[in-house]
Amino acid sequence: FGSSLAPLTLGLSVAAELVPRMDAWAEFLALLERLRSNDNAVRDAAEKAYKDAQKAEPGQVLTALAQCLDPSRCTDTVVRTQAATLLRRACVQVGPDETVWTRADAAVQGQIRLGLFQAVEVEPSQQVRKILVSSIAVVASQGQAPWQELVPGAFVLAQSDNESHKEAAMRLLSELMGTTYTQEIVARRQELGTLVSTGLNAIALQPAAMDLVAEMVSNLEDDTLPALQQVLPSVETALKALATSNPSAFEEALTSLIECAQEKAVFFRPRYAEWVEMMLAFAAAKGVLEDGMRSLAFEWVGTIAESRAKALAKAVPDLPRLVLETAFAFLAEVDHDEQWASIDEDEEKDDDEGLHEAGEAKVDFFVKKLGFAQCGQVFMVLLQKYSESGRWEGKFAAAMAIRAGVEFCSDARTLDTMAALLLQLLQDPHERVRYAAGFALGQMCHDQEADFHERWHAKMVPQLLVATNDPVDRVAAMAANSLEAVISDLDEAVLAEHAKQILNVFVARLTSCTHKGTLVAIMEALGALAAGLEGSFEGHYDQLMEMLLAFVSKPDGNAKLRGKAFECISLLGFSVGRERFMAAAQSTMSAMLATPVVADDVQTECIREALERMCKILGSDFVPFLPVLLPGIIQGVSMDSAVSCASGEDENEAEDEVVLPTDNGFVKVKSGQIMEILSVVSLLNVFIKETGASFFDFVQPTAEALARILGCTDSVLNIASQVRDAVYPCWADLVLSISKAIPAKGKGAQDMVIELVQRFVDKVGGDLVKADDPEDIAPMAQGIASVLKNAGAGCLQPMQVQGICDLALSEMMKSFQRDEALKNANKQCEQVAQLPGLVEDDDASAASDPDVEEFEEQEARIGLIAILGACMKASPELFIAHVLPQVRPLMEKWFAGPKSNNPGRLLGLHIAVDFCEHIGGQHAVALWPLFMEAVFDGLKSEEADERLAAAFNIVLAAQAPEFGPQFSAHAYTALGTALQSFKPKKNDEDAQRAADNVVAALIQLCVCHPQTCPDLDLCWQTIIAKLPLKVDTEEGHKVHRKLFVEAQKPNGGNLGSMARIAQVLGYLCEVYGKSENCEEELQRDMAVAFAALPQSTLQALTAQLSAKQQNKMERIIGDAAAAQRGS
């Protein structure tokens, strides 16, 4: 290359509005200056002129920018930086539109390519050289024909004696890694190796060399790793040198190495021990390295552990101690802040950010990743060391470490030690320690099971109540938050013991405190108390409701405080029921309607949550509020302003806006408005579902609003897929509300159901045919299934049902084909450990776990299976005649496959559920041999979804008399084994739901087939102990109705004895008044039934109940008497 930039012809035409007295070059420089102006008007005009020139004369604009890169002609580094940046931006391809580069002719492009290399040679500024190198890489990515001189040119630069040329060469080769030029670069292996070696050993070149190594590791094939691993010692030496000589380059290198660890953690494996020692030494270098760099060094260790925990622990046997010592040290690096106590977290953000936050995150990460069994002993030793350090920072670290790690501890003695320490720290002289202790106590209560609360509530509640009066408001607010966590997990009877004491403190604080954070926290805790005492809160209701209505009656009050007061009011209403709450609901609604709706506003969000809860409380009685509420809500269901056309990627963006390319050009997406629409659709869905048939008069305008969303262009719907997916269940609930209205509204309602079903199936079915992304297919399929199920029989013509079934089966086969193609593509990755020269990786087995794509495909298939189930319900005869012959061989194939890692088994179990539920009768019984063995196998599956589907099959099948002699004995054994083998954790909702359905299945067996039970008393004891169901509340309502109906039969039906009748009725008394467990209709029926019992029978029954159950019985009879007086 030449030693200086060859002159290029400018030839830039000057637009008419430009000053004619100036030559083109001077005017172009002036234009660049105006583009840098701080005056918005000047800059906007310059941007317009620049864009016009790009469109009119792209080649001449590029040439002018290239001219600015000549340091001999343009001495100002700012201008050269600007020109290099604009040149790069002009070449970047975003979306389908042509770029300035692609519109220029080939001759200009050739000149620019040459000019960029020449500019790199002579450019004195390292910053500008970096931009130029990036520009070369961008240009290289444009066009069909490869840039023949590119790679040779890079290596010519590499062979130069000039270090700036070598640096530029390494940065360019880094940029080209992972592109079509990679193989050409790798083919020059010897030159590349020499360049890397030279770079790692020259201080000025080390940053670029480190970046090149990281890019090579991330982008080259795995069989090159053994050769690359030879540079690890040199990389270590270079990194240590950068730490002292070039902090910014050191930070950049750490970032690259973290990315490298994410992509190819196994690259570091031969020297895991040395690298962990080095990185933790960097992390410990307080006062030598900046905190951000120390945090990055620790992050590298965590990144390796994320994917290679076993191999890392094997290479570094003392890993738990090393990482936890570093994490605790980070936690203790918290600075004293005179302003800390005065910050109200409810009104301003605490900018107290530092290494202690990174330390807390790493305690959480490593304890979870390595397991408390491996970390527990070290953790507890460090806990003692820091809590007894005598320094407030150490005690703070101990409390926050408990908060981070307690979720993963299940040992009762260890938990008790932690709880005792936190209660001790809650009384510490330093406010930061008291705050941290309260914070950790709240987390502990959220994470732990009921037995922990039983052991500690008597100590925790009084001490936290004292702490809510802490002289430091911020500590008091945290204590109230922690108290809310305790309250939320206490049993009603236990909570009742503390209720008076809690309420006295809360009322006093609400009337005397002015600190917003404390008031908000107390209202949240008060709401939790009301929810926990549902049905027994009446004695506290009037005083609290009066106080809360006073809060919301002041429209100029603190917005979040008013919002939380609205939430609390709705929770109080939830606790006392619709009749008692109705008067307050009117006042609350008036205050809500007087409050302006503001997007992304805490008060608006709280009001919406309160509205949802009020609608659930009032049910059909909420309908009088709808004429006022719905117009504004429906108006908010519009995509017009949320997604709009944009002129291009450079269009100005507001804080919550982003410009995205689509097949039809650029669109601007307002993320805040998207979230607002989602909130509105969610609220609308609650109104529809909870008011049921009473929503009928509002169906038409609601359907039109939802249809406008579904009618948006494909590009808009793809971008706003969250909104689209939220509309599907909302439409299904609309169909259900009309279906419920058919008995009262007649043919008009029936016609409306058919119309809505047809509109939805036509639109979404068409979208499903076009979709090829399982993330889109799954919600579309579930939406069609829900709409059809809610419409019921007769909503479609037989040919339509058959067509939809054919579509579902076809799409399912396509999904399996995509899955198979994905597995074939991943085979090479699964064989990495077997490649010559690679060390066997203990973590390689992790590759066999289902990845994200496989999970998404399975979700799509489950949705398609749901369509088949809906078609069974819509037309069972047609399904048996035309669809079952296609489905049966699929089920046989799926069930004949392996019992684990077989996605087909779950699909078959879902179809079996639909057979039992929608086909029923002798047709379903005849199909039992097809799937019943798989059902029993499913109860033993490690997958919670399979256990759930298997258990629900038994719930349905056991209702048939034929089930008893054929399968009930086996079912008792299988269900008992499942209950013993799988103990779901509190936070594992899927496992809890599966366990709920196992209990429901056992109840169904005991009620329908007690004669084959091996130990009926033990089964019923197990059932009562497992009730109420924890997650599946819908099935819980069915179970409670089932038990009540059986108990009402002569001699208790299949309950079999007076003792068992008392046991069941006593349990039903316990859940009475809790809407989550006991529906309003069942509560009314229970009250009527108990009130009708002869006095002698009632006394005999009551004598067998616990004191708690007797109190509930009195309340039930009192409710019955009150209802009778009211009528």
pLDDT for 879-907, tens place per residue? Answer: 999 999 999 999 999 999 998 889 999 99
Three-state DSSP string of 354-418: CHHHHHHHHHHHHHHHHCHHHHHHHHHHHHHHHHCCCCHHHHHHHHHHHHHHHHHCCCHHHHHHH
Q: What is the DSSP letter of 97?
A: S
pLDDT at 250: 94
Q: What is the pLDDT of residues 155-181, one digit of tens each?
A: 999 999 999 999 999 999 999 998 999
For residue 989, how many C-alpha atoms fall within 13 Å in the half-sphere facing its CB? 3
Average pLDDT, the chain: 89
pLDDT in tens, 636-684: 777 776 766 665 554 555 666 666 566 566 667 777 888 888 999 999 9
pLDDT value of residue 93? 64
3-state secondary structure of 544: helix
Q: In whole angstroms, give the CA distance from residue 852 to residue 855.
A: 5
92: confidence class by pLDDT, cuts 50, 70, 90? confident
Per-residue pLDDT for 720 more than 50?
yes
Residues 406-416: pLDDT tens digits? 999 999 999 99
Which pair of tokens denotes residue 904? 């087909």
Q: Which residues pair with 643 in a beta bridge?
A: 669
Number of neighbours of residue 1035 by Cβ within 10 angstroms: 20
Residue 843, both tokens: 């973590």
CA distances from 607 to 530, 581, 595, 602, 831 (A): 18, 17, 9, 9, 55
Tokens (6 digits) for 576: 């006392």
Banded pLDDT at 281 (limits 50, 70, 90): very high
For residue 869, which of 824, 914, 912 has the smallest C-alpha distance? 914
pLDDT of residue 15 exceeding 50, the answer is: no
Treating both helix axes as pointing N-terminal to C-terminal, what angle do 921-938 and 944-957 enclose, rounded to 10 degrees?
150
3-state secondary structure of 281: helix
User: What's the confidence (pLDDT) of residue 974?
Assistant: 97
343: confidence class by pLDDT, cuts 50, 70, 90: confident
Per-residue pLDDT, averaged over 16-42, amounts to 74
In whole angstroms, how far apart are CA 1027 and each of 169, 371, 637, 943, 1067? 70, 31, 41, 23, 8
Does residue 838 have a pLDDT over 60?
no
* pLDDT score, position 653: 57
Task: Quote the pTM value.
Answer: 0.80
Q: Is the dihedral of CA 936, 937, 941, 944 positive or negative?
A: negative
pLDDT of residue 676: 85
Residue 420 has pLDDT above 50, yes or no: yes
Question: Three-state DSSP class for 536?
Answer: coil
- Among the residue ranges 366-375, 560-569, 941-950, the one predicted with the least confidence is 560-569
Give the CA dihedral 575, 580, 582, 588, nearest 10 degrees. Answer: -60
Provide mean pLDDT across the span 453-460.
94
In the chain, the percentage of residues whose pLDDT exceeds 70 is: 91
Q: What is the mean pLDDT of residues 748-767?
A: 94
Query: What are 100-129's pLDDT values in tens digits?
Result: 898 888 899 999 999 999 999 999 999 999
pLDDT tens-digit readout, 195-245: 999 999 998 899 999 999 999 998 888 888 888 899 999 999 999 999 999
Q: What pLDDT is attached to residue 662?
A: 62
In the predicted model, is pLDDT for residue 1027 greater than 60? yes
C-alpha span between 688 and 524 (Å, rounded): 27
pLDDT of residue 828: 57
pLDDT at res. 392:
97
How crowded is residue 501: how many other Cβ atoms within 10 Å of its Cβ?
12
Q: Compute the chain's Rg from CA coordinates.
A: 35
For residue 770, the model assigns a pLDDT of 92
Residue 445 confidence (pLDDT) above 80? yes
Span 183-193, mean pLDDT? Answer: 92
pLDDT given at position 658: 67
The tens digit of pLDDT for each residue in 470-523 reads 999 999 999 999 999 999 888 888 898 999 999 999 999 999 998 989 999 999
Top pLDDT among 436 and 1080 is at: 436
Of 872, 961, 862, 853, which Cα lies nearest the Cα of 909? 862
Q: What is the pLDDT of residue 284?
A: 97
Tens digit of each residue's pLDDT (9 = 90 or more) over 1036-1066: 999 999 999 999 999 999 998 899 999 999 9
Q: Is the dihedral of CA 249, 255, 261, 264 positive or negative?
A: negative
DSSP label at 708?
H
For residue 659, the model assigns a pLDDT of 65
Percent of the chain with pLDDT over 90: 69
